[in-house]
Homo-oligomer: A and B are copies of this chain.
């Protein structure tokens, strides 16, 4: 099975540009190059395990064993479990509708939230909530989660809100940053409130409510 195939089974989809997993060592002169095969095995195995187990229940040790890879190899490229999982799930997000652009702010808002909601559906949403939770308690991983996952969504949403405010579609009293927090906060609050995947209705209603709030 290809990595592509394995990862497609996770319903996380988002258009990011398949950037290198870790910062590229700039101009390494000689020595054995990193094994792409091992990297893929690690990421694929992680994704496969995420389908069955919670982030909490996955250990670096078990990933290494299942992937047929030395523990050192994982630790060489990822400092901790959160980094690994974030990279693993960022793979499946590649086959996705591009971030919205163009059109009137209300449509853009609706489309962006639908886009985010799609990411949160099914097991994917639970995984994200689990990494989010797992990233807490350590300042670095906490920051990493936002940097690798949320920043893009926050920026898009914020820019849509600003657009709407200047175009007159949204009220000017709208506190942009806070509204972003409220909307994505509601998503996570839902995801972390009960063991079931995100309710379909919830996604629809929050979009309606968001539109009402903004105007």
Contacts and interface: CB of A to CB of B under 8 A. Distances in A.
A186 interface: yes
Interface string A119-154: 000000000011011101111001100100000000
A137 B56 contact: yes
Interface residues of A, number: 41
19 contacts: A54-B137, A56-B137, A129-B136, A130-B137, A134-B136, A134-B137, A142-B192, A142-B194, A142-B195, A146-B193, A173-B212, A178-B186, A178-B206, A178-B209, A179-B209, A185-B187, A188-B189, A188-B192, A213-B213
Interface in A64-81: none
Contacts of A40: none
Contact of A57 (B133, B137, B202): B137
A134 B181 CA distance: 21
A136 to B, nearest CB: 4
B186 A181 contact: yes
Interface in A171-187: 173, 175, 178-179, 181-187
Within the oligomer, what is the number of copies of this chain? 4
**Interface-centre pick from A54, A184, A185 (highest chain B CB count, 10 A):** A185
Contacts of A190: 181, 185
Contacts of A175: 205, 208-209
Contacts of A50: none
B194 A143 contact: yes
A55 interface: yes
A194 B146 CA distance: 9
